[in-house]
Structure 1
Amino acid sequence: MSFQSQKPAAKTPNIVLFFIDDLGYGDLSVNGALGYKTPNLDKMAAEGTRFTNFMAAQAVCSASRAALLTGCYPNRVGISGALGPQSAVGLSQKEETIAELVKAQGYATGIFGKWHLGSDEEFLPLQQGFDEYYGVPYSHDMWPLHPWQERAKYPPLHWIDGNKPGKEIKNLEDASELTPTITEHAVAFIKKNKNKPFFMYVPHPLPHVPLAASAKFKGKSERGIFGDVLMELDWSVGEIMKELKAQGLDQNTLVIFTSDNGPWLNYGDHAGSSGGFREGKGTSFEGGQREPCIMRWPGVVPAGRVSNKLLSTIDILPTIAKLTGAKLPKEKIDGIEFTDLLKGDDTKTPRENFLYYYRKNSLEAVRKHDWKLVFAHPGRTYEGSLPGKNGQPGPSPEDHDFPKALYNLARDPGERYNVLEQNPEIVAELEKIADAAREDLGDDLQKREGKNNRPAGQASRK
């Protein structure tokens, strides 16, 4: 079936990109969440398209964000894991971000929320194509109150305004202002730039732990603090959508909503839901990398539609470039533009393959269409351990040995039935994809160096 848009946009669109932290596939009420509602996101889904086979490029904070902004697998640009406050690396200034591409087209660019691609000034957003930045430099659990660490390990956590530290976030009461403060700055950015095209990136730090909701939402859900936080995030989306309408920009703005990785399941009642997919954050199973995704652009992106075509966050950059007339980065990227599919042509299948890299540069699985070949690898598991409670984590062993397995995600999206022995021809086909990936990007599991990886930026500290 092919949906056709009602009318073409008169000009290149504004772009609003929400990137939520640790939000699981099952954490929106439109995807089955219980104990709270997300009415603004449900409305966005009704007015736009839900992409149900949408993958984060890697199931961990910094790597996932690097991929989104560069259109590359994160190992290609040298970013892995979650960069700590003292990390001497960051996203290289040689990489071209979405912000840099559209800025060259005359777009105003702003980011309000969590950056996590290097906290030294030379790595901050204003050096990566953004005109404005107000947010936190990394995950807000990287502070002296971290439950796993001695309090002295992490430095104080500050808001960053442009390039300069602002108010310190000292406790959960301060953290409860994360969502409303980010929303306030995002709304102000829309008002300020209503007469020119803009790209606004809103990477909300929550529902990453520690959870905190403002007084307006605290205690309002049946799901406890996690539900309160989700209700407030939904409110934030609603406020931003309301402002787009108030400024007459609603009809010419592409809004994209997705997440960096799946839920941190060992936090129990402070964690979200993978929606029945296997495992969660920090794993290359579907619960770690398959994310909720909604895209809305009235009259261009069909309303009330569900697309099951395979896509990834790395595909957003080339698609935005196509829509805005921006040039693609000079260096090799991995994303594939999906403009025709976005606009309703369901005969298009932009992406056939996907690579599941994790840790520094380990190829843990490859996929073609609905077939997923998982290679034997050590990794995190949440299964077999009781989750934590009230903000304290339960165990999540990092050295579980996963065997080689083949899954048919069309029939077995939970990755429970290994059909490796029954499908040798499929395995052989996927092995070829893996070999090409190892040649290009390398594979730590096989101690292979990739030919086309680029280094991360190195801090020039004195």
Structure 2
Amino acid sequence: MLVKQNTFLSILSCLLFMSFGNSNAQAKKSNFIIIMADDLGYADLSCNGSQTIKTPNIDKLAREGMLFTDFHSNGSVCSPTRAALLTGKYQQRTGISGVVTAKSHRDVGLSLTEVTFADMLKEAGYVTGMFGKWHVGYPEKYNPVHQGFDEYIGYVSGNVDYHAHIDQEGYEDWWHQNQLQKEKGYSTDLISSHAVNFIKRHKDKPFLLYIPHEAPHGPFQGRKTSAFRKIGEVVKDKKRTREETKLLLKEMIEIMDEGIGNVMQTLTELNLDENTFVFFCSDNGGARYGDNTPLRAGKGSLYEGGQRVIGIAKWPGKIKAGSTTSETAMTMDILPTLAQFGGVQNPLKLDGVSLDRVLLKNKRLKNRDLFWQYSNKMAMRRGKWKLLMFKDSGVLELYNLDSDIGEKKNLLNAYPQKAKAMKLDLLKWYDDVTKNVDEKS
């Protein structure tokens, strides 16, 4: 029995397994792979409009699975989305509503009382592995191996030098389990190769594999770009033209795509395809050099470009190949979906909902309001309507996303009562998710 805290033990003791009417159900548990890109733009994939970046393997995921056109990251920056993904809750409830920075937040992390999807599935008999970016806690006590992952290789900061594996404040940051360990290689290639190795070693067991890539987050480095960060020093990368940076961004995304292809090919070679659910998304919209066409703004913003991202789900024989859905879903919906597919009756109070109806039957979810908050900005979705609120100024904006996905026409004056009602519910939500919470960032 995995031990974290007394509260955790009491929750896990309530977990029940559903048999699905088959005595061999536990032996036939499905595998899960969650792949998260970092700062990937909405149009940075060839399957979603890019004319310059070639992503044949991610494109193949979309052709063989379901493409979400209205999928959203819980946050418009890195750490909040990851906290929501791991816990199935609005990140504000976990105290991580902003970036856990390498400079100012080296003593905080995701509370060990939180139950992650790795905790949940490990208790259900899964072997759990994570390879890549953590970014919800720097101290060793918050390491992924203490948060439900049997195996971990990667980095805990917001980004590292892709070759030297040093974070932006000059700290060495490449971990094997909960120990710093030097390892030569380009971080994207290392993440992919360790993921492939994990699958091969655990092909005969039900597994959860979490692959949070660094790409295409800065620093912008390709396979042959020189390392520039040094331990104990804060060193800036050399200046490049926009054209040079865009070429590196293209290479970084294409290398990530290559690695994803290797992971998928491994499933095929081991005859694991039909028993493995795969989900791909980004942690937020594209940053300065990303392409979020046709959305407004990008990373850090609560306009659509900051948090509407590509979502792709594949599960041969269960999810219809080549299907699309316009259902509005969020990162926090992944945990309850894994619980449903993993045969775990989850007693936790979650904000996310299982997407099984959408994925398996392409049916609609029940109507629900959805919310975002970052810094002084707040937003709310109610069907086609989206309200933005800037807390410092009190400015409100209202958009009809069905007819104006680019958020160009503010309809506040045309629908003042709708905006007023949504504002009241937005503030009520914020009070609920932040009460009795110790903010970590």
Q: TM-score, normalised by structure 1?
A: 0.80
Matched with 1:426 is 418
The alpha carbon displacement at 1:185 in A equals: 0.4
Deviation beyond 6 Å, 4+ runs, structure 1: none
CA deviation digits over 1:418-459, x for unaligned, max 9?
111111342243134214303312xxxxxxxx43x544689x
Letter in 2 for 1:104: E
Q: SS of the residue aligned with 1:257?
A: strand
1:353 aligns with 2:369: yes
Aligned CA-pair RMSD: 2.8
1:261 aligns with 2:284: yes
Matched with 2:321 is 303
> Closer, same or farther in 2 for the Cα pair 1:116/1:167, shift >3 Å?
same
CA deviation digits over 1:95-120, x for unaligned, max 9?
00000011111001000000011111
Query: Within 2, Cα distance between the matches of 1:456 and 1:431?
Result: 23
Q: SS of the residue aligned with 1:15?
A: strand
Matched with 2:294 is 276
Query: Within 1, Cα distance between the matches of 2:295 and 2:115?
Result: 33
> Closer, same or farther in 2 for the Cα pair 1:222/1:366, shift >3 Å?
closer
> For 1:240, which of 233, 256, 263 is the aligned residue?
263
1:367 aligns with 2:367: no
Query: Within 1, Cα distance between the matches of 2:90 and 2:181?
Result: 32
Q: SS of the residue aligned with 2:361?
A: coil
1:206 aligns with 2:206: no
Matched with 1:415 is 407
> Closer, same or farther in 2 for the Cα pair 1:438/1:117, shift >3 Å?
closer
Query: Within 2, Cα distance between the matches of 1:364 and 1:223?
Result: 31
Q: SS of the residue aligned with 1:292?
A: strand
Matched with 1:393 is none
1:326 aligns with 2:340: no
Letter in 2 for 1:375: M
The alpha carbon displacement at 1:351 in A equals: 5.1
Q: SS of the residue aligned with 1:298?
A: coil
Letter in 2 for 1:322: Q
Q: SS of the residue aligned with 1:82?
A: coil
Matched with 1:129 is 148
Query: Within 2, Cα distance between the matches of 1:50 and 1:351?
Result: 20
Matched with 1:33 is 50
> Closer, same or farther in 2 for the Cα pair 1:99/1:351, shift >3 Å?
farther
Percent sequence identity is: 39
Q: SS of the residue aligned with 1:53?
A: strand
- Work out whether residues 160 and 168 of structure 2, in 8 Å CA contact, stay in contact via their aligned partners in 1: no
- Work out whether residues 31 and 275 of structure 1, in 8 Å CA contact, stay in contact via their aligned partners in 2: no
Query: Within 1, Cα distance between the matches of 2:317 and 2:355?
Result: 17
> Closer, same or farther in 2 for the Cα pair 1:215/1:250, shift >3 Å?
farther
The alpha carbon displacement at 1:64 in A equals: 1.1
- Work out whether residues 336 and 350 of structure 1, in 8 Å CA contact, stay in contact via their aligned partners in 2: no
> For 1:250, which of 273, 284, 290 is the aligned residue?
273
Query: Within 2, Cα distance between the matches of 1:326 and 1:68?
Result: 17
Q: SS of the residue aligned with 2:60?
A: helix
Query: Within 1, Cα distance between the matches of 2:44 and 2:361?
Result: 26
The gaps in structure 2 that reach 5 residues or longer are 1-21, 226-243
Query: Within 2, Cα distance between the matches of 1:60 and 1:354?
Result: 17
Alignment of 1:99-110 (within 5 A): 99-110=118-129
Letter in 2 for 1:189: F
CA deviation digits over 1:364-418, x for unaligned, max 9?
111101101111346xxxxxxxxxxxxxxxxxxxxxx683110001111111101
The alpha carbon displacement at 1:167 in A equals: 1.2
The alpha carbon displacement at 1:39 in A equals: 0.5
The alpha carbon displacement at 1:223 in A equals: 5.2
Q: SS of the residue aligned with 2:418?
A: helix
The alpha carbon displacement at 1:326 in A equals: 2.0
1:166 aligns with 2:185: no
> Closer, same or farther in 2 for the Cα pair 1:285/1:141, shift >3 Å?
farther
- Work out whether residues 83 and 117 of structure 1, in 8 Å CA contact, stay in contact via their aligned partners in 2: yes
Q: SS of the residue aligned with 1:282?
A: coil
Matched with 1:119 is 138
Letter in 2 for 1:352: R
Q: SS of the residue aligned with 1:374?
A: strand
- Work out whether residues 39 and 284 of structure 2, in 8 Å CA contact, stay in contact via their aligned partners in 1: yes
Letter in 2 for 1:210: P
Query: Within 2, Cα distance between the matches of 1:125 and 1:423?
Result: 47
Q: SS of the residue aligned with 2:190?
A: helix
> Closer, same or farther in 2 for the Cα pair 1:27/1:351, shift >3 Å?
farther
Q: TM-score, normalised by structure 2?
A: 0.84
Q: SS of the residue aligned with 1:113?
A: strand
Matched with 1:194 is 203
The gaps in structure 1 that reach 5 residues or longer are 1-7, 169-173, 266-270, 379-400, 442-449
State the aligned residue count: 397
1:313 aligns with 2:331: yes
Query: Within 2, Cα distance between the matches of 1:36 and 1:55?
Result: 22
> For 1:403, which of 371, 395, 403 is the aligned residue?
395
